[in-house]
Amino acid sequence: MMVRIDDMLLPSRRSAIKYEDRSGYWPKSEDGTVNVPYTFVSNYSDLHYKLIKSSMAEYTTLTCVRLIPRTTETDYLNIKSSEGCRASMGRVGGGQNLALDSTGCMYRGIIQHEINHALGLKHEHVRNDRDDFITVMYENISPDEWYNYNKADTDNLDLPYDYGSVMHYNGYSFSSNGNATIVPKPDPNVPIGQRVGLSPLDVAKINRLYDCDVPATLLNEKQGYVTSPNYPSEYPDNTHWFWLIRVPSGQAAVTFLDFDLQSSPYCESDYINIYDGPTKDYSRLVWRGACGTDTPWPVIASTSHLLIEFSSDSSIAGRGFRAEYHSVQCGGTFYNLTGTITSPGYPDNYAPNLNCSYTIRAPENYIIRFTYTDFEVQYLKWCPLDYLFLTDDVYKYGPLCGTRLSKTITTETNILKMNFVSNGSYEFRGFKASYVMVPSGSTGKKKSSFLYGLEGGEKKK
């Protein structure tokens, strides 16, 4: 028999899993990973599958936990779209339900909240020391719901109280009269109850609970800085580290402010790699890594995730790097040999007041063939309002608007920069385009013309 406590399902034979009770946790493999098998017992949309798997992927980079598709394992998670957002507490044996309703639970923070319960984590606001950090306003809570605020006998793993935990209730949960149910101390205005995703302290808890030694840091603010170890002094030998950037909204972007790594052919010695997602399984946003003293180009991920990998060998060291990360509303960086680019929201109308920057960068001695398959942007003579502007650092094309454009351009260089702008008046379908990188000299090319652009492109002054 299972007893529901809000979003946790606890076995009725015990009130909570004690941290020292290893039977309630998932076992560790010989290779140091903690495998948590799962299976989907409900159908989700492609977007929902993508969100769930992306949320799981953060654990792979930041912890030793691996959420893996079930094969023949006896103990596993049954992920289903029913019964709201709920999970059993810890490993209970057999196929245990993890409910993620497709109509109300499809948020990264909710998905990870329930996974954390399945890993054995309790709500932050029930810690045994919580009265030092919050006041529970029982007068604003129906007595039938008071049990959601019962303190637990917790091992806090020598980690600070985390107002920003994905496991914390918000300030108005279960309010019976519209007034606050949790008030932080000493500052009542401290934000609590976010569901954006794991906090750095959430990650630290999992790693201590499962004795993980993972060379990774989560950066989850809207903007901030990332530096190599010991920067601006020389970085240490034989270092391998990851920084997972996850901005609260928009797309993650990073701009390097200083860069000095050992130079080697194909960056085989010391290097950074940047990935367009939360793990190394996602596509790279730099070509064959980056090293030397040439500052890498700014990069924009396709989502809120961007992963930086840094590696050094045992020989020459440099000053390292310093970079700024931030959130942008749209844009992207493209290093794959082929790809597709669309305006935000395509094929639905793009949003007002956009300013989107895209960069396509091919390897040296390559050029870019860029082809429109659809184009519908608000038209006004000279395109002063909504427009697309392109340049390859030799020729510039645009501003471009309207609906009739030449199909293809071929660049003079290995770089194509794009800027898409909309104002606040009318919005249209936008654009869809594809590109392919080809060796320079492999094609006879003809400069493109645009009805509303500049004939053949205008050479950049």
> Which residue numbers are catalytic?
114
Question: CA 11, 12, 18: angle at the middle one, nearest 5?
Answer: 60
How far, CA to CA in Å, does 254 sit from each of 12, 279, 356?
A: 49, 17, 15
Three-state SS sequence of the chain: CEEEECCEEEECCCCCCCCCCHHHCCCECCCCCEEEEEEECCCCCHHHHHHHHHHHHHHHHHCCEEEEECCCCCCEEEEECCCCEEEECCCCCCEEEEEECCCCCCCHHHHHHHHHHHHCCCCHHHCCCHHHCEEECHHHECHHHHHHHCCCCCCCCCCCCCCCCCCCCCCCCCECCCCCCEEECCCCCCCCCCCCCCCHHHHHHHHHHCCCCCCEEEECCCCEEEECCCCCCCCCCCCEEEEEEECCCCEEEEEEEEEEECCCHHHCCCEEEEECCCCCCCCECCCCCECECCCCCCEECCCCEEEEEEECCCCCCCCEEEEEEEEECCEEEECCCEEEEECCCCCCCCCCCCEEEEEEECCCCEEEEEEEEEEEECCCCCCCCCEEEEECCCEEEEEECECCCCCEEECCCCEEEEEEECCCCCCCCEEEEEEEEEECCCCCCCCCCCCCCCCCCEECC
| Burial of residue 460 (number of CB atoms within 10 Å: 0-12, 13-18, 19+) | exposed
Q: Which residue is associated with the tokens 């790097």?
A: 321
Amino acid at 171: G
Distance from C-alpha of 271 to C-alpha of 261, rounded to nearest angstrom = 7
Q: What angle do CA 54, 322, 355 make, to 5 degrees?
A: 60
* CA dist 358 → 269, 334, 361 (Å): 30, 8, 10
